[in-house]
């Protein structure tokens, strides 16, 4: 598809500076822009690339003022927020290249299932008894939607996603390939035979609106009740959410983080990669947890910044870490002091 600068500006409420008839057929990063592509500049660190880029059109913030002349072949579109506008265009592009609505003859849909309007269901997808898929949703090939599941409107269920029974998924959710929603929680009870007896997990998972689940991420069903991922939560790839966990609105969590059963996470949290959070604790709103930190207890202070394992306040951690880095010098100095003390003792005793 081909778009002109004036067409793009109309979509994002921008102002064209340069050739309004300049056209693009693809997208590129500004540092590796190619002729006929659209790029953007939002971070000032990358400004140097705009003067040499081959991208035909570049979206910039309306505060951008070139420090030297741009190429004659470069047309810019000024907007209030370049990053947000580029993201909007990516969304439009993504919709344009999505499959046409329709149900593949190779998909299996139980007769009791309810399928909305303008839905795409790909080959070898499975929709079970009493399940429902909302309007404008996409279910890609080899996905599995079990009995009594509900998938809302405008959702994307990518290839190979597995959604276990009775899971409820809100509107505008995205589940990436390999994610598993609603597998059994890790519930086992030790028995007198010195082994472990499985505790049936009969609850479910609820994903509220605008939730995104990364590839190969697992959200376990509750033992009783529901594991709840609140509105706007974004989970990266390879994240583990245990049974009966509650993740607050608009919290984001990076890859390989794990949350043990029955923990309750607050709203607007930021959780770094490989963070471990123990079960049965609560974490306040707006807490930020650095990568590879371990959270062993409840965090009550809203807006805390935590580092380390076990984690504590970031400023204190940094001070302690500086001390840790100086430990070899401290030990060397301590040995010197011990030798000096021994020398003094010898002189006094002599």
Active site residues: 243
For residue 209, count other CB atoms closer than 10 A to its CB: 16
Q: Is 333 left (phi over 0), alpha (psi -120 to 50) or beta?
A: alpha
Q: Rounded to the nearest 10 degrees, what angle do helices 5-12 and 82-96 cross at?
A: 110
User: Residue 320's closest CA among 65, 190, 16, 310?
Assistant: 310
User: Residue 149's closest CA among 98, 176, 109?
Assistant: 109
User: Residue 153's closest CA among 168, 180, 173, 178?
Assistant: 173
Cβ atoms 44, 11 nearer than 8 A: no
Residue 319: phi and psi, rounded to 5, are -65, -45
For residue 341, count other CB atoms closer than 10 A to its CB: 10
């Amino acid at each position: 598809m081909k778009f002109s600068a004036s067409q793009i500006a109309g979509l994002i409420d921008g102002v064209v500076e340069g050739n309004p008839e300049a056209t693009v057929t693809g997208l590129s990063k500004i540092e590796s822009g190619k002729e006929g592509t659209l790029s953007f500049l939002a971070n000032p660190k990358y400004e140097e690339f705009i003067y040499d880029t081959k991208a035909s059109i570049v979206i910039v913030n309306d505060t951008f003022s070139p420090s030297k002349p741009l190429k004659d072949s470069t047309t810019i579109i000024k907007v209030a927020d370049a990053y947000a506008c580029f993201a909007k265009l990516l969304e439009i592009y993504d919709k344009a290249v999505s499959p046409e609505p329709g149900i593949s003859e190779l998909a299996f849909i139980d007769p009791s299932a309810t399928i909305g309007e303008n839905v795409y269901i790909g080959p070898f997808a499975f929709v079970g008894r009493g399940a429902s898929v909302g309007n404008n949703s996409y279910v890609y090939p080899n996905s599995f939607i079990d009995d009594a599941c509900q998938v809302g409107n405008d959702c994307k269920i990518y290839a190979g996603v597995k959604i276990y029974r009775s899971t409820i998924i809100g509107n505008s959710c995205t589940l990436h390939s390999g994610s598993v929603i609603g597998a059994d929680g890790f519930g086992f009870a030790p028995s007198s035979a010195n082994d472990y007896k499985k505790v049936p997990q009969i609850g479910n998972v609820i994903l509220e609106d605008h939730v995104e689940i990364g590839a190969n991420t697992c959200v376990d069903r509750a033992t009783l009740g529901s594991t709840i991922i609140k509105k706007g939560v974004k989970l990266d790839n390879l994240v583990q959410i245990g049974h009966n966990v509650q993740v607050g609105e608009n919290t984001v969590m990076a890859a390989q983080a794990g949350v043990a059963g029955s923990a309750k996470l607050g709203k607007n949290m930021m959780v770094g990669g490989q963070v471990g959070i123990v079960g049965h604790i609560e974490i306040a709103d707006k807490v930020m947890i650095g990568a590879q930190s371990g959270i062993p207890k409840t965090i009550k202070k809203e807006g805390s910044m935590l580092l380390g394992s076990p984690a504590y306040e970031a400023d204190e951690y940094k001070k302690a870490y500086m001390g840790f880095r100086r430990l070899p010098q401290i030990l060397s100095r301590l040995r010197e002091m011990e030798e000096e003390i021994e020398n003094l003792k010898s002189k006094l005793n002599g």
